[in-house]
Chains A and B, each alone.
Chain A
Amino acid sequence: DTGVSQDPRHKITKRGQNVTFRCDPISEHNRLYWYRQTLGQGPEFLTYFQNEAQLEKSRLLSDRFSAERPKGSFSTLEIQRTEQGDSAMYLCASSPSRGQLNEKLFFGSGTQLSVL
């Protein structure tokens, strides 16, 4: 399977714990995006990378969230001191190139986070 893969598929954690998610994009894709989606809403942008460089981070994103893409391949998203409001589906997506307007996103299956 050469699609975008995310791990784990599901994560249940207690409030205050730290969690880390992993995303492996399609191998030749330079751009990697993280989105958050809650029930009945569209994907909400969190951050994106061009290769290993984190180019933009949502201003709405708490400092408890951090993302890395150290070698320009896989990425990790960490949430520290989780809160119940962090419960959501965390989607990773990748795109092939360098910000061209004809690009499309390829999504992974997501990590469903439940904070108890």
Chain B
Amino acid sequence: GQQVMQIPQYQHVQEGEDFTTYCNSSTTLSNIQWYKQRPGGHPVFLIQLVKSGEVKKQKRLTFQFGEAKKNSSLHITATQTTDVGTYFCAENTGNQFYFGTGTSLTVIP
């Protein structure tokens, strides 16, 4: 299957600092979805991006889809302890959902 790579694998930040995770693909993506998985929990859908260069915001979270539709980023401004978890990007091809490797975020109070 397709491989979507995410970096970094782990990130520790002080509460209040910003955080960014990047999702990269060697092939053009149909779309990109982002999911959040809290420790001990299951992935929960956050958002989907479809258009080249698309940017969407959810409160302190900003999602971006690259112009070439081969990469995406999730940026969190002024992290809070409630942001702790693993963030996954995924592509929905219509038949399959291919997940990235995830970025685990730890927020230090």
Contact = CB atoms under 8 A, between A and B. Distances in A.
Interface of A: 33, 35, 40-45, 48, 55-56, 58, 91, 93, 99-110
A3 to B, nearest CB: 10
A58 to B, nearest CB: 8
B97 A45 contact: yes
Interface centre among B41, B43, B90, B101 (most CB of A within 10 A): B43
Given A104-B33, A107-B44, A108-B42, A41 B50 contact: no
A33 B97 contact: yes
Interface centre among A35, A41, A104, A107 (most CB of B within 10 A): A104
A101 B98 contact: no
A40 B98 contact: no
B95 interface: yes
Q: Name A's interface SS.
A: loop
Contacts of B33: 104
Contacts of B30: 101
A40 B99 CA distance: 13
B96 interface: yes
A41 B100 CA distance: 8
Given A101-B30, A103-B92, A109 B41 contact: yes
Contacts of A93: 97
A7 B37 CA distance: 19
Contacts of B100: 42
A43 B88 CA distance: 9
Interface in B59-94: 88, 90, 92-94
